[in-house]
Structure 1
Amino acid sequence: MAGVDLIVDALLGTGLDRPVSGVFAGAIAAINQSGLPVIAVDIPSGLHADTGTVMETAVKADRTLSFIGLKQGLFTGEAADYGGVIEFAGLEVPEAVYASVPISARLTRKSPWPPRKRCSHKGHYGHVLVIGGNLGYSGAARLAAQAALRTGAGLVSLATRSAHAQVLNMAQPELMCAGVETVEQLAPLLEKASVLAIGPGLAQDEWAKTMLDAALPWQMPMVMDADALNLLAQSPARKDNWVLTPHPGEAARLLAMSSAQVQQDRFAAATALQAQYGGVAVLKGAGTLIKSTGCLAVSCTGNPGMASGGMGDVLTGVIAGLIAQGLDLATAAEQGVYVHGLAADSAAKHGGERGLAAGDLLPWLRHWVNQ
């Protein structure tokens, strides 16, 4: 490509629905090997516009200019490595045209939160009960509880194994950590809570099953994560008062399919999760998806540094903390995912993505919930 300074990719359009092969595959390979800057028109050639799936091969663009409407496939799954900077050009299409077209998905954004009344007290901001931290996994439950605290919950309790309670109380004195081994010991904690967060460090042994079985009949809002989801997959149920937060592997177990099938069409998977289990489904990953009874929402915050243990536990606490403060399930899930990603982006900006730990998000959570 002698004498070429810039490549404009307009090889394949938004209607691509089969694997790229032949001359088009060769052209895409040449573009990717050129080392030249690439601007894609509407969507990088080879990406499925609706799902973001790479159809065998795809152009890796530096920028994508999406006309008239943003293509939902640009914002989740594999597309994160192909679209580059996404820009929108409306081409002066009248607002009346947009108003007549149903929206398939929308990007999340932070909503303004009202300031706290000067006369408020901790009872106004809910009581989160985190259930988890089986033997050897106390850190996961602690992260979830700390995240609920930093997000603004008035009170946060943690029901964990007795062996962990004293150490956790010493490590974070603002948390009320109780050693719980039986349903009878858990019951008083459930009675005091306004929101449950179940699953971080829960495991799948008899203690875990006992705790989950005791919690599920309660009608208060709950956020389900990690092994709570794996146990749910073994005995499926449907409830309208929960937020489920699976990663692709957990979603695959909940839907009785493979992780690859989930990732192949993340929009369909999130929709299926909500349809089957009720409540709100949060399908984590690059471009986390949030599905309630309304339109799908797609997160535009977060970075690859979040690919480390404990990030999901923090998200569980964030969502639970927002519900405790009065947000409905869908809003808490959307805002929680957005703020969780913002905190990770801020932490990465100040130290880099590599080596980012879940606990690094905690001070930034407090920052962003106050903006």
Structure 2
Amino acid sequence: MVLFTAADVRAIDQALIQDYGISGINLMKRAARACVLSIDQYFADVSRFLVYCGSGNNAGDGYLIAAMLADRGHHVDVVVVGEKKKLKADARQALALCEQSSARFCAVEVISEECLIVDALLGIGVVGPVRAEYRKVIQDINESAAAVLSVDLPSGLCADTGVSFGACVKATVSVTFIGQKRGLYCNDGPDVAGRICFSDLGAPASVYLQVNPAPVEILAEQWLPTRSRRGYKNQYGHILLVGGNQGMAGAIILAAEAALRSGAGLVSVATRAANIGPLLSRCPEVMAHAVASGDDLITLLEKSTSIVVGPGLGRDEWALELFSAILGSGKPMVVDADALNMLAVAPRYYEHWILTPHSKEAARLMGESEVDDDRFKVAEELQRRYGGVTVLKGLGSLVHGGEQLSLCPFGNPGMASAGMGDVLAGVIGSLIGQTSSLYQAACMGVVNHARAAEQLTGELGEVGLIASDLPIAIGRCLSGRDTS
């Protein structure tokens, strides 16, 4: 499954009309039928409907939905928000069809919890703050106890960024058309979209190639291939993890355990001498090395096949010297946490690394106080500036590899706790030695990190989930043994 921008969808819509002979009103009828099918599937017991229509093409879909439901004998009330005179030709035709049905046009002061609200207020064309008249209606919808079906996307949500334009309908189900919208899967989108249903409205595959958009792939579950019974540890990579400054042993221990549980054949850790005891107590399988300077890393770097640098690294002279030595190694690496902060101070380009910033670290890497709401643009810019692969962490984590851009739809709020990023860094570093590319390692690591969290919340709950719970579950997921 892939995601599209609003501009992509508009271009496909126009191509269907101009090049494939499918009229605008025909597309509206197909959209309305797709919504009615979802109503049949998820709200089969509902017989009262309240349809809110704005003044754009989204309203045309709403009018046709109202007419179709009324023709079935249902009680349908239609509330018009905005001015009918602003409707374009296709939407005016849809309005006329609705007026010919038994649907009743009215003003509603109290919303019955027994009805289903159909949200056809605002579509993908919204580009600024929601106007007061719409904001009041959206507030009334959200304060009601009624279920909501949003047409194409929840009104007030940016189709490209997933950011609310000041007010946004919170849907139970969203039925989206032609192309899955990026905004449904990031920022505010997942909180307001509810269950997402998709219809291509019968668009032929050729139209998508004709328009030639730059889609975003939604990552699916993925796991490592079954190992040969003759396999041995050197086949699965030797990962070197560097970090754990004074008082920050936990971060490097979490990363090391995650690397082990993700299938790395050999795991070495370079850290402060004080951390060796706690590290080996937790992970006796690790080869632990106390390092005092960059010179102490030379032999370790030569032996490694991949590096993770940053968890608990700090930003003192010790950290800077180790990071400088690693940058000169020429090895594939994962750069995380404080290593990203040091990179922001002295930016450079390198094709063989995976950067794993959250939004604050991304802002520092871009020399800004905060990042743009358009996370897709941020990920693209970071990859362009720094090379390699960028993993922009957060809701709907993005993986950008230059030619490829993917979004992870998995995960939950329980992951918003200390150490989760350290675990992810260890997983991705481990997978570098077990996959065919940095991009594949990043995608597989992000997906299984998030899937493990989903698996565990059924048992522990989101509030009780902590980073050290994840490594064993990640190993299960990577083995294809996710039983959630």
CA contact (8 A) 2:223 2:479 kept: no
Q: Is the Cα–Cα contact under 8 Å of residues 380 and 402 in structure 2 kept in the other structure? A: no
Gaps of 5+ in 1: none
Question: Is 1:149 aligned with 2:284?
Answer: no
Provide TM-score, normalisation by structure 1. Answer: 0.97
Give 3-state SS (helix, strand or coil) of 1:44's partner: coil
Q: Is contact 2:223-2:444 (8 Å) kept?
A: no
- 1:105 counterpart (196, 216, 227): 216
Hey, which bits of structure 1, 4+ residues long, moved more than 4 A?
none
What is the alpha-carbon root mean square deviation over aligned residues? 1.2
**1:80 pairs with one of 180, 183, 190:** 190
Once the two structures are superposed, what CA deviation does each residue of 1:9-40 show, in whole Å capped at 9, x if it has no partner? 11101111111122111111111111211111
* Greater Cα shift, 14-23 or 272-281: 14-23
Q: Please name the residue that 1:216 is paired with.
A: 327
Which of 295, 301, 307 in structure 2 is aligned with 1:184? 295
Residue 132 of structure 1 corresponds to which residue in structure 2?
A: 243
In structure 1, what is the equivalent of residue 137 of structure 2? 27
State yes or no: 1:199 paired with 2:283. no
Per the alignment, in what secondary structure is the counterpart of residue 59 of structure 1?
coil
* Contact 1:109–1:335, Cα closer than 8 Å, also in 2: no
Separation of aligned partners in 2, 1:212 and 1:359: 26
Deviation of 1:112 after TM superposition, in Å, equals 5.4
Q: Distance in 1 between matches of 2:315 and 2:275?
A: 18
* CA 1:2–1:166: 2 relative to 1, 3 Å: closer
Larger radius of gyration: 2
State how far apart, in whole Å, the 2-side matches of 1:111 and 1:310 are: 23
1:279 aligns with 2:388: yes
Task: Give the counterpart letter for 2:220 in structure 1.
Answer: R
Q: TM-score, normalised by structure 2?
A: 0.75
Q: 1:118-146 CA distances to partner (integer Å, 9 max, x unpaired)?
A: 11100000001000010111110111111
Deviation (angstroms), 1:93: 1.8
Separation in 2 of the partners of 1:156 and 1:66?
46
**Identity rate of aligned residues, in percent?**
46
Task: Supply the AA of the counterpart residue of 2:176.
Answer: S
Task: List per-residue Cα deviations over 1:28-55 (Å, max 9, x = no partner).
Answer: 1111111211111111111110111111
The Cα offsets for residues 195-247 of structure 1, whole Å up to 9 and x where unpaired, read as 00000000111111011011001111100100000010011111000000000
3-state SS in 1 of match to 2:427: helix
Per the TM alignment, residue 104 of structure 1 is displaced from its structure 2 partner at its CA by 2.4
Change (3 A) 1:295 1:153: same
Alignment of 1:155-304 (within 5 A): 155-259=266-370, 261-262=371-372, 264-304=373-413
Aligned AA (1:196): I
Moved more, 106-115 or 163-172: 106-115
2:42 paired residue number: none
Q: Is the 8 A contact 1:166 1:177 kept in 2?
A: no
1:328 corresponds to 2:437 = yes
- For 1:245, give the aligned amino acid: T
Paired AA for residue 220 in structure 1: K
Please tell me the residue identity of whatever aligns with 1:242. Answer: W
Cα distance in structure 2, aligned partners of 1:113 and 1:127:
17
Q: Cα distance, 1:2 vs. partner?
A: 4.4
Partner deviation per Cα, 1:291-324 (whole Å, 9 max, x = no partner): 1112321101100000000000011011111111
Are the counterparts in 2 of residues 103 and 295 from structure 1 also a CA contact under 8 Å?
no
1:315 is aligned to 2:424: yes
Is 1:341 aligned to 2:453, yes or no?
A: no
- 1:131–1:198 Cα contact (<8 Å) kept: yes
Q: How does 1:35-74 map to 2 (within 5 A)?
A: 35-74=145-184
Structure 2: distance between partners of 1:145 and 1:34: 49
The alignment covers a number of residue pairs equal to: 369
In the alignment, is the contact (CA less than 8 A) between 1:133 and 1:161 conserved in 2? Answer: yes
2:223–2:478 contact (8 Å) kept in structure 1: no
List gaps (5 residues or longer) in structure 2: 1-109
- Aligned partner of residue 352 in structure 1, secondary structure: helix
CA contact (8 A) 2:254 2:468 kept: yes
Residue 14 in structure 1 maps to residue 124 in structure 2 = yes
CA distance, structure 2, for counterparts of residue 202 and residue 216 of structure 1: 14
| Greater relative CO, 1 or 2 (CA 8 Å, sep 6+) | 1
